Structure 1
Amino acid sequence: MRTAHLLLPLAAALALAACAQQDAAPADATPPAASAPAQPATAAPADTAPAADAITGVSGTYVLDPKHTDVIAQWSHFGFSNPIAHFGEVSGQIVYNAENVGASSVEVTLPLSGLNSHVGDFDDHLRSADFFDAARFPNATFKSTAVESAGTNKLKVTGDLTIKDITKPVVLDVTINKFGEQPMAKRAAAGFDAVATIKRSDFGVGAYAPNVSDDVELRITTEAVVAEGAAPAAPAAQ
């Protein structure tokens, strides 16, 4: 009888615990429905760059401003570096015909006295007979043979480049930067950038090729103003 009295409270405790577990269970034991597969994100359309506004050309004869004209040559040195040399003191003129771009022309003289790599000894070497032989051939020149439109604000200028009395055709890809009044000179001006690639061995300047690259990239920027006292023609009709 004593054992039965001890078992009754234990049984009651177990029954209460079972009830508590049932009360804690969620009322809805239905498993959650499977979620729908995620839809792939639709890529937003890429932004389209606005078309460049056409620059209105102004006919006239423009004289190169040597203070704001630079011809930069760049090449590979054994694949380790890509040094540059500047050709300054540039002179010449651009005749621009806005009504008939094909009638335009360019003439440029690059004196080797204006060559500057920012390393004096190297400049002397470049002017030596190993390269430009500047004592015998003091200038390089470019004279256009054809000018044609190549798209909005773009020109393709073909011409004869002469170095060391060797003349070869070169094509310049030209970007028209601006036509307008130069605010300091108070005269009409035109600005252009151009790029071209030449083989220096074509002009007798091929020492150490191909370890020093035969291909040389030329980058040109120029600002030109009409001669003092001269007036440019009216802008081309659009």
Structure 2
Amino acid sequence: MKKMLVAALLASASFAAAAADTYDLEPNHTFPRFAINHLGFSTFHGQFNKTSGTATIDLAKKTGSVDVTIDVASISTGVAKLDEHLQTPDFFDVAKYPTITFKSSQFKFDGGKLEEVRGELTMHGVTRPVTLEVENFVCKDHPMTKKPACGADLEAKIKRSDWGITTYVPAVGDEVTLSIEVEAVKK
């Protein structure tokens, strides 16, 4: 009887250790950013200031999923008139497409290192596959809140024309570099 109880406790401890953890994106530390060539002169940068979502990660099984929503009206380039123009039908058409979403259940690990997150990016009414390369990934107790947290730096290159955003191509670049800094806190 004692052996069965010990076996049951060990089995439940193993199950708990292998269980996936769910994290809420921390909106004050999660910023999707973009960079695009501007008329061949320079690389222009902007970001979205309102992002929400969750990530579920099972480090033992090397699996995960994310469901992220970006508020397109929160676009910020540092130029108010440009922010307004980017919200019009010439670009993002915020009235018709108020959000950008990214959903994934395909995390690629190499040993203990997360290397890629493959998913579906929906923007401007179009859904296409996107692979985010992981530059940095860490899960540990947050030094200030003492709660379990994860963070990552991710990057991808996309062509905005693939999502039907073609105004001023090619003068304003078609290729866009996405850089996403994300922090998430365990629920």
Q: What TM-score bracket applies, with the shorter chain setting the length?
A: 0.7 to 0.9
Answering whether residue 26 of structure 2 is matched by residue 65 of structure 1, we say yes
| Runs of 4+ deviating beyond 3 Å | none
Deviation per CA, 1:152-180, whole angstroms, max 9, x where unpaired? 63321110000121000000001343211
Answering whether residue 162 of structure 2 is matched by residue 202 of structure 1, we say yes
1:153 alignment partner in structure 2: 113
Secondary structure of the residue aligned to 1:75 is: strand
2:130 alignment partner in structure 1: 170
2:40 and 2:32 map into 1 onto residues whose CA distance is: 23
Secondary structure of the residue aligned to 1:107 is: strand
Q: Select 1:187's aligned residue among 147, 150, 153.
A: 147
Q: Quote the offset at 1:95 in angstroms.
A: 0.4
1:151 and 1:115 map into 2 onto residues whose CA distance is: 36
Q: Aligned Cα RMSD in Å? A: 1.7
Q: Which has the larger radius of gyration?
A: 1
Q: Select 1:85's aligned residue among 46, 53, 68.
A: 46
> Residue 100 of structure 1 aligns to which amino acid in structure 2?
K
Percent identity, aligned pairs only, is 38
Contact 1:177 1:191 in 2 (8 A): yes
Deviation per CA, 1:99-138, whole angstroms, max 9, x where unpaired? 2123x10110000122100110000000000000001110
Question: What number of residue pairs does the alignment pair up?
Answer: 170
Secondary structure of the residue aligned to 1:172 is: strand
1:131 alignment partner in structure 2: 91
Normalising by structure 2, we get a TM-score of 0.85
2:122 and 2:134 map into 1 onto residues whose CA distance is: 19
Normalising by structure 1, we get a TM-score of 0.68
Deviation per CA, 1:4-44, whole angstroms, max 9, x where unpaired? xxxxxxxxxxxxxxxxxxxxxxxxxxxxxxxxxxxxxxxxx
> Residue 43 of structure 2 aligns to which amino acid in structure 1?
N
Q: Select 1:101's aligned residue among 38, 52, 62.
A: 62
Contact 2:109 2:115 in 1 (8 A): yes
**Bigger strand fraction:** 2
Q: Select 2:81's aligned residue among 121, 124, 130.
A: 121
2:12 alignment partner in structure 1: none
Alignment CA distance shift 1:149-1:219 (3 Å): same
Query: 5+ residue gaps in structure 2?
Result: 1-18
2:9 alignment partner in structure 1: none
Query: 5+ residue gaps in structure 1?
Result: 1-57, 228-238
Alignment CA distance shift 1:196-1:150 (3 Å): farther
Q: Quote the offset at 1:59 in angstroms.
A: 4.3
1:176 and 1:212 map into 2 onto residues whose CA distance is: 30
1:92 and 1:106 map into 2 onto residues whose CA distance is: 7
